[in-house]
Amino acid sequence: MSALLLDDITCTFISRDDPAARYTAVRNASIAVGEGEFVSVVGPTGCGKSTLLNVAAGLLQPSSGDCKVFGKTLEGINSHAGYLFQTESLMPWRRALDNVIAGLQFRGVPKEEAVPRGEEWLARVGLAGFGGRYPHQLSGGQRKRVALAQCLILDPKIILMDEPFSALDVQTRQLMENELLELWAADRKSVLFITHDLEEAIALSDRVIVLSAGPETHPIGEFAIDLPRPRDVSEVRLTPRFLELHEKIWHAMKEEVLKGYRQQLKA
């Protein structure tokens, strides 16, 4: 049984200005994430990656198809999942620490108990001592890490990540990627990881799914990544197998990118 199954999802948006206009971002897309599996989704910008993730989170109702979480059809918010958003998601009126423990507070954990756990998590993402800052007093990368701590402190079984590291510099990024792999290896969560960086996808995942260009996006290829674990993201990039896989997946993607481009020219 998959931890997360997107089953034949179609998402058609209705334009707000012109109720007759339709835009089908995703059509007949199926993606499965096994228990404890790390799956990455890559695809050209605007193809519908965030849309799919919103469906998996239960934030967006698909036009057709359904989303199954541990075998149960999802209704409303996916309470098994933690979500790292692509854009700013911290509450600007809460200090970093209060943001990290927000989920615990919503669950009724008393503050005396939540605060030490929040501080521990801030330290784990390298922000010990930054707990008193408001989001606007943090850098973009620091905010991303606060969001990471905010999500992981709740110990979700499924983690949905939407380009979480694209705002970070290369070094910090690799540190965070390794940290993520370590956390994931420690208690095998199911991860659906979205990125437009193919190297990042290969370095982290068990499986990489390539999406076609929009509109009517759907998966066009799935590649099992048989690189040995544990991996170090910066070292694994230099291995011959990595380069081989990269070559293979990039080949499939490139055709798709060009196809999408030609379609757009015709339209």
Ligand X SMILES: Nc1ncnc2c1ncn2[C@@H]1O[C@H](COP(=O)(O)OP(=O)(O)OP(=O)(O)O)[C@@H](O)[C@H]1O
**Near Mg ion by CB under 5 A: residue from 10, 12, 24, 50:** 50
**From the list other proteins, Mg ion, ligand X, none, which binds 70 (C-beta under 5 to 8 Å, kind-based)?**
none
For residues 33 and 260, what is the distance between their CA atoms, to the nearest angstrom?
A: 26
Q: H or E element: which one contains 176? A: helix 170-187
- Residue 87 found at the interface with other proteins (CB under 8 A): yes
**From the list Mg ion, ligand X, other proteins, none, which binds 87 (C-beta under 5 to 8 Å, kind-based)?**
other proteins
Query: What does residue 212 show for φ and ψ, rounded to 5 degrees?
Result: -75, 170
Candidates 33-41, 86-94, 176-184, 210-218; binding stretch for Mg ion (CB under 5 A): 86-94
Residue 157: CB minimum distance to ligand X, A: 23
In 3D space, the residue among 162, 37, 172 whose CA is nearest the CA of residue 87 turns out to be 162
**Near other proteins by CB under 8 A: residue from 2, 40, 150, 217:** 150
3-state secondary structure string across 90-122: CCCCCCHHHHHCHHHHHCCCCHHHHHHHHHHHH
**Near other proteins by CB under 8 A: residue from 17, 106, 228, 265:** 106
For residues 154 and 125, what is the distance between their CA atoms, to the nearest angstrom?
A: 15
Candidates 19-27, 50-58, 208-216, 221-229; binding stretch for Mg ion (CB under 5 A): 50-58
Judged by beta carbon, residue 92 or residue 116, the one nearer other proteins is 92
Strand partners, 24: 12
Give residues in contact with ligand X (CB under 6 A).
Answer: 13, 23, 25, 43, 45-51, 86, 196, 214
For residues 12 and 202, what is the distance between their CA atoms, to the nearest angstrom?
A: 30
Query: Is there a contact between 33 and 190 (Cβ–Cβ < 8 Å)?
Result: yes
Q: Interface residues with other proteins (CB under 8 A)? A: 54, 57, 59, 77-79, 81-83, 85, 87-95, 102-103, 106-107, 134-136, 147, 150-151, 154
